[in-house]
A = this chain, B = another copy of it.
Amino acid sequence: MKYEKYKSSLPYSYTLGITLTIELLKKHPEDVLDIYYHSSFNGEGKDIVDSICRKIGIEPIDNDKIFNIFASKENVYCIGVFKKFDSTVEKDANHIVLVNPSNAGNLGTIIRTSCGFNLDNLVIIKPAVDIFDPKTIRASMGAIFNINFSLFDSFEDYAKDNNHHFYPFMLKAKAKLKDTKFVSPFSLIFGNEATGLPDSFLEYDSVIIPHAKTIDSLNLPIAVSIAIYSATTNDF
């Protein structure tokens, strides 16, 4: 087998399933290495994949073995293999900034939501979960192929030479989300799932999404989504 079980150090990754593979083929045809069909793959979706592959000169491979390297509860009959690609955020666009996100499903869900509200520039501060992890790609529902993203070693690296208005979301913040008017270009900044943002971020215009004391905190993708919705409500 030419390809191995996914790990972050590999130069390639996978789209598992037909929807994700179609998004890959449409948005990043130049990065597609191979398309695999399972012998049980059939039906309407297959025509679409077939036709895009023909257009971009890719010959789908019938081979069931590659499907065994993914332990998945859901049935997957089509896999795309693609070269990991570079990406850079647009300098003057609004940014979502995730500081040390640690969960692949959360990262994917955040990408899907921000894309859904036209906030398609994502900054990730390392260490962070792998944006190319097939679990991230799946949770993003393919939105990862529609966004720009940049990785930085530290928030300081991102913040220098940067004209954005920083809005860190923190439980210790004073300003409530509903009272905050976001000035563009803005950066909505969120900390790690377990630890949040360090107190040093209180020097910026920090924001709190107030909630009842019955819960400790909102789940990260939920907090990010509520913030995104509030910041973009007038655009939709």
Distance of A112 Cα from B215 Cα, bound (Å): 7
Q: Is the CB of B178 within 8 A of A212?
A: no
Distance of A215 Cα from B120 Cα, bound (Å): 12
Contact residues in B for A226 (Cβ distance below 8 Å):
225-226, 229
Distance of A116 Cα from B115 Cα, bound (Å): 25
CB-nearest residue of chain B to A105: B105
CB-nearest residue of chain B to A178: B233
Contact residues in B for A176 (Cβ distance below 8 Å):
236
Does A219 lie at the interface of the complex (its beta carbon under 8 Å from any beta carbon of B)?
Answer: yes
Given A229-B226, A229-B229 in contact, is the A215-B178 Cβ separation under 8 Å?
no
Does A192 lie at the interface of the complex (its beta carbon under 8 Å from any beta carbon of B)?
Answer: no
Q: Per-residue 0/1 for A192-236: is the Cβ within 8 Å of any B Cβ (1 yes, 0 no)?
A: 000000000000000001111011101101100110011001101
Chain A's interface size range is 20 to 34
Q: Is the CB of A118 within 8 A of B222?
A: no
Contact residues in B for A218 (Cβ distance below 8 Å):
112-113, 116, 225
Does A109 lie at the interface of the complex (its beta carbon under 8 Å from any beta carbon of B)?
Answer: yes
Given A222-B222, A229-B226 in contact, is the A214-B143 Cβ separation under 8 Å?
yes
Contact residues in B for A216 (Cβ distance below 8 Å):
141
Does A102 lie at the interface of the complex (its beta carbon under 8 Å from any beta carbon of B)?
Answer: no
A217 vs chain B, min Cβ distance (A):
8
Known: A112-B222, A115-B214, A210-B236. 18 other contacts (CB 8 A): A109-B222, A112-B215, A112-B218, A113-B218, A113-B222, A118-B212, A141-B215, A141-B216, A143-B215, A176-B236, A178-B233, A178-B236, A209-B229, A212-B236, A221-B221, A221-B222, A225-B226, A229-B230
Selected A-B contacts with CB under 8 Å, 16 pairs: A112-B222, A113-B218, A113-B222, A115-B215, A116-B211, A116-B212, A116-B214, A117-B212, A118-B212, A120-B214, A143-B214, A176-B236, A211-B236, A222-B225, A225-B225, A226-B226
10 closest cross-chain pairs (CB), A and B: A210-B236, A116-B211, A116-B215, A222-B225, A226-B229, A118-B212, A178-B233, A146-B214, A115-B214, A113-B222
